[in-house]
Chains A and B, each alone.
Chain A
Amino acid sequence: MRLMAAFNTLSIRRKLMMIIIATSLITATITNLFLIIEELYHERSDVISQLTTLSDVIAINSAAPLMFNDRNTAADLLASLKNNQHIDTATLMTANGAIFCEFNRSSAPGPNVWPKIGSAGSAFNFQHFYLRRAITIDNEHVGFIYISYSLADLKKNVAAFLAVQLFVTALAVMIAIWFALRLKRSISEPIAHLAEVVDDVARTKDYAHRAVRTTDDEIGRLITGFNEMLQEIQRKNLELEEHRNNLELEVQQRTRELNSANEELLKSRKLESIGVLAGGIAHDFNNFLMIILGNLSIAKNLSGAGIVKERLEAAERASFRARDLTKQLLTFSRGGAPVKSIFSLATLIRESVALMLAGSNVRAEIDLPENLPQVYADDGQVIQVINNLLLNACHAMPNGGVVSIRAWDSCLTGACGDRVAGGTICLSVEDHGCGIPEEILPRIFDPYFSTKDNGAGLGLAMCYSIITNHGGSISVESQPGKGAVFTVCLPRPVVSPAARQAQPQQVIEALNHPLRILLMDDDEYIRSTTGIMLETLGHTSVSSSDGQEMLRLYREALEAGNRFDLVIMDLTIPGGMGGEEANRLLLEYDPKAVTLVSSGYANNAVMANHRSYGFKDVLAKPYRMEELRDVLQRVMAL
């Protein structure tokens, strides 16, 4: 294990070298071992066969000398062995083991004790090979011959052979080393090169390094793969860097967007609270105005012509202006949903501009595309917006000038879907006046913020409120001294304009039969004022102060076979059942009931979509006798 661990720490070049050397060494050694063993075996059998043949000849020829005791002939026979250089000694023995004749190459005496020779008839020791052959003739055992064969030459031969093998082994190893050194070029060098590049990359963190591919094998593929990996890392790094660089910009951008969203939110919260306040004030105010205006119209009716009527009319006009103010206030009310319809923005712009700029020193330049789509919005509110913007432009140019009014379809100018899904239809009003100082630009849509001495600060705030209530946007661009551009964008109608047909203009016939009307209002003065107005119009009325009382009176009347022709309900009854719930219950009880909704919250959702709540029409407070009459005529004509 330790050897293996040590081997594992070596470089690939050394490993290869070691493996090649070890392999060649082992192969050469094994081959040589086999060759040597084979050589030894071969030599041995050679010696045995040579000696056996020789001893057989001697044995055959020594039988007669042995049997006839002819030592001379036997000695001559043995002496013939001297021609064989390897035979050291030879001894003839009689059958009972007595030495008959000896041959000894050297002067030294032969072996005194012959080695024990087994039944095989031969034995080896380090010096000699011994052979014993029995001498027989005609199956009769007449003696033995012992021959000792010197192995000195054989050993020399084997030693020489061994030397040659060692030389061959050494040569093989050297050739293997030479090959290993050559192999280095194709295996270990590319790996070493790759390792170097890896080190470089790790050290310098520079992924621009590339390894050079020199071979087409697995190492080549490895190098290609490594290079591709480096390239990928480089690419990713670049991307990361780009992201990092852009991150700051993106953060700035997001921060800006967040800030603006926060401002927007703050603005809308401000407006909302003001709207709630304004809505409440306007509602109460409308109720008072209702009483004032109603009674003024009653008084006017009673007074006849003359100075009194003139005064009453003056009071009525003041009341109207007060009503307009409450209307403006109510637009801040969040609950005030726009009463939408399909109309032509182009027509609206032309009419408003004509009305607003008539007689002023400001000239209008109107640029409207011919195919400007219709919009789905509250036309009254849109007129208010246009009027306010024109008014603003006029005030910005007290000495006169040109105001440019443009409108366009954002989907045709390439900005479709920017802010509002489905695109927008925009209009801009540009003046060339004094412009708006940069520091007050963010506050320009705040309520009650005004730079004008006599301004209420509600104009632009109202525009903002109206447009955002429509789901649109309003913005301003200004350069001090060069003027300002207000841009209003309204969402394109989601429903095709064709689906919504303008209500057919009906010829309203004068109502000439008296009606029985049930009134529901929490305000006693309004009940009495409206009652008098209805009486004046020739109708009769019964009053109730909340929904429950109204429902009770209606049921009693119906059960008495005297159904009310019309019910006029106030929308909000503090502490009691309001108009919405009362109307639902009433229609459940009597689906034929005809109802009107009346409220100071002119922009309330129920008021805006009265039909879907079951009301036949609306009566926005305050109203005059004329307006009451018109509504009654309209409802009864249905």
Chain B
Amino acid sequence: MVLAGGSHTGRCLLSVIALTAICSLLLLPLPMPAGASNVTAPESEIKAAYLYNFTKFITWPAASFSSPGAPLKICIFDDRPVGAVLRDVHGKSAGNRAIEVFQTRNPADVAACHILFIGSTDRNTRSRLIEATRGKAVLTVGEDEGFADQGGGINFFVAKEKVMFEINPDVIKRSGLEVSSRLLAIARIVRDTR
């Protein structure tokens, strides 16, 4: 709105440029990437939105919640600061549960999460976190190549300038979660290599 105010005060050329910018901004679907040019910049945002979207297609066992009204916890294991999108997700709901977003660096915390996002990290840390969540109702989401092959649930990757993801249904099944076939239909499927 500050820029719109500027269109009133600026010169004619500036106004045209500003209007074009506003229009393109407005047309941009918020959780969606709008074009190739800004893939890099909102990549983390897209992933954050996808994390939220996953809650629509994954079913957690009731036992993974302390009470019927207990919140669904999304844990971010990353050094980078949590983006605006994730802050928006905090407070939304999945079904009748509120969603809570945590940022943590402590591997001891991860067992209590429902979704654990593991930011780009070294192989050992990944293994340790995977080990920590094995057999627990925790959906592990990573963004490093080979994450799903190594026992991660879902792994983001970028192809054709698009953020895409792969799913290892075996891992998810072992975790006691259910994944919607609709999600599987749009994901790349990987199987255990071990």
Question: What is the interface of chain A, defined by CB distance below 8 A to chain B?
Answer: 60-61, 63-65, 67-70, 73, 94-96, 98, 137-138, 140
CB-based contact A64/B32 at 8 Å: no
* Distance in angstroms between the alpha carbons of A63 and B32 in the assembled complex: 13
The answer, among B164, B165, B182, for a CB contact under 8 Å with A63, is B182
B128 at interface, CB cutoff 8 A: no
A68: chain B residues at CB < 8 Å are 50, 53, 165, 183, 186
Query: Which B-chain residue is minimally distant from A70 (CB atoms)?
Result: B186
CB-based contact B182/A69 at 8 Å: no
In the assembled complex, the CB of B131 is this many whole angstroms from the nearest CB of chain A, namely: 28
CB-based contact B29/A64 at 8 Å: no
Query: Which A-chain residue is minimally distant from B30 (CB atoms)?
Result: A96
Interface string of B36-70 (1 = CB under 8 A from A): 00000000001000100101110000000000000
CB-based contact A67/B162 at 8 Å: no
In the assembled complex, the CB of B175 is this many whole angstroms from the nearest CB of chain A, namely: 20
Query: Which A-chain residue is minimally distant from B55 (CB atoms)?
Result: A138
In the assembled complex, the CB of A245 is this many whole angstroms from the nearest CB of chain B, namely: 119
In the assembled complex, the CB of B169 is this many whole angstroms from the nearest CB of chain A, namely: 15
CB-based contact B182/A60 at 8 Å: yes
B81 at interface, CB cutoff 8 A: no
We find that the number of chain B residues with CB closer than 8 angstroms to chain A is 23
Given A67-B53, A138-B94, 13 other A-B contacts at CB below 8 A? A63-B56, A63-B182, A64-B183, A64-B185, A67-B31, A67-B50, A68-B53, A68-B165, A68-B183, A69-B162, A70-B164, A73-B185, A73-B186
Report 19 cross-chain contacts, Cβ distance below 8 Å, ordered by A residue: A60-B182, A61-B182, A61-B185, A63-B56, A63-B182, A64-B180, A64-B182, A64-B185, A64-B186, A65-B186, A68-B186, A69-B32, A69-B46, A69-B163, A70-B186, A73-B185, A73-B186, A94-B32, A98-B27
* Distance in angstroms between the alpha carbons of A363 and B46 in the assembled complex: 179
* Distance in angstroms between the alpha carbons of A140 and B183 in the assembled complex: 16
Query: Which A-chain residue is minimally distant from B34 (CB atoms)?
Result: A98
In the assembled complex, the CB of A625 is this many whole angstroms from the nearest CB of chain B, namely: 177
Within 8 A of A (CB), among B57-114: 57, 94-95
In the assembled complex, the CB of B45 is this many whole angstroms from the nearest CB of chain A, namely: 12
In the assembled complex, the CB of A436 is this many whole angstroms from the nearest CB of chain B, namely: 154
B33 at interface, CB cutoff 8 A: yes
B33: chain A residues at CB < 8 Å are 69
Q: A64-B180, A68-B50, A73-B185 in contact; A98/B165 too (CB < 8 A)?
A: no
* Distance in angstroms between the alpha carbons of A73 and B182 in the assembled complex: 10
Query: Which B-chain residue is minimally distant from A98 (CB atoms)?
Result: B29
In the assembled complex, the CB of A64 is this many whole angstroms from the nearest CB of chain B, namely: 4
Most-contacted residue by chain A among B31, B95, B182 (CB, 10 A): B182
Most-contacted residue by chain B among A67, A95, A96 (CB, 10 A): A67
A interface secondary structure, majority: mixed
A98: chain B residues at CB < 8 Å are 27, 29
* Distance in angstroms between the alpha carbons of A60 and B185 in the assembled complex: 12
CB-based contact A94/B186 at 8 Å: no
CB-based contact A138/B56 at 8 Å: yes
* Distance in angstroms between the alpha carbons of A69 and B183 in the assembled complex: 12
Most-contacted residue by chain B among A60, A64, A94, A138 (CB, 10 A): A64
Query: Which A-chain residue is minimally distant from B27 (CB atoms)?
Result: A98
* Distance in angstroms between the alpha carbons of A614 and B106 in the assembled complex: 182
* Distance in angstroms between the alpha carbons of A60 and B180 in the assembled complex: 11
Most-contacted residue by chain A among B27, B46, B57, B165 (CB, 10 A): B57
The answer, among B30, B46, B56, B164, for a CB contact under 8 Å with A140, is B56
Within 8 A of A (CB), among B141-192: 162-165, 180, 182-183, 185-186
* Distance in angstroms between the alpha carbons of A121 and B18 in the assembled complex: 36
Query: Which B-chain residue is minimally distant from A93 (CB atoms)?
Result: B29
In the assembled complex, the CB of B133 is this many whole angstroms from the nearest CB of chain A, namely: 23
Within 8 A of A (CB), among B5-44: 27, 29-33
Query: Which B-chain residue is minimally distant from A140 (CB atoms)?
Result: B56
* Distance in angstroms between the alpha carbons of A70 and B186 in the assembled complex: 7
* Distance in angstroms between the alpha carbons of A140 and B52 in the assembled complex: 12
CB-based contact A96/B182 at 8 Å: no
B27: chain A residues at CB < 8 Å are 98
CB-based contact A94/B29 at 8 Å: yes
In the assembled complex, the CB of B87 is this many whole angstroms from the nearest CB of chain A, namely: 18
Query: Which A-chain residue is minimally distant from B95 (CB atoms)?
Result: A138
B50: chain A residues at CB < 8 Å are 67-68
* Distance in angstroms between the alpha carbons of A65 and B30 in the assembled complex: 15
Query: Which A-chain residue is minimally distant from B180 (CB atoms)?
Result: A64
B183: chain A residues at CB < 8 Å are 64, 68
A65: chain B residues at CB < 8 Å are 186
B95: chain A residues at CB < 8 Å are 138
Q: A73-B185, A98-B27, A138-B94 in contact; A67/B163 too (CB < 8 A)?
A: no
* Distance in angstroms between the alpha carbons of A63 and B55 in the assembled complex: 13
In the assembled complex, the CB of B122 is this many whole angstroms from the nearest CB of chain A, namely: 28
Query: Which A-chain residue is minimally distant from B26 (CB atoms)?
Result: A96
* Distance in angstroms between the alpha carbons of A269 and B31 in the assembled complex: 153
* Distance in angstroms between the alpha carbons of A65 and B32 in the assembled complex: 11
CB-based contact B165/A67 at 8 Å: no
* Distance in angstroms between the alpha carbons of A67 and B54 in the assembled complex: 9
CB-based contact B56/A137 at 8 Å: yes
CB-based contact A96/B185 at 8 Å: no
A94: chain B residues at CB < 8 Å are 29, 32
B182: chain A residues at CB < 8 Å are 60-61, 63-64
* Distance in angstroms between the alpha carbons of A140 and B186 in the assembled complex: 19
In the assembled complex, the CB of A515 is this many whole angstroms from the nearest CB of chain B, namely: 172
B94: chain A residues at CB < 8 Å are 138
* Distance in angstroms between the alpha carbons of A255 and B194 in the assembled complex: 158
* Distance in angstroms between the alpha carbons of A64 and B164 in the assembled complex: 12
In the assembled complex, the CB of B189 is this many whole angstroms from the nearest CB of chain A, namely: 14
The answer, among B56, B164, B185, for a CB contact under 8 Å with A67, is B56
* Distance in angstroms between the alpha carbons of A140 and B27 in the assembled complex: 20
In the assembled complex, the CB of A461 is this many whole angstroms from the nearest CB of chain B, namely: 156
* Distance in angstroms between the alpha carbons of A98 and B30 in the assembled complex: 11
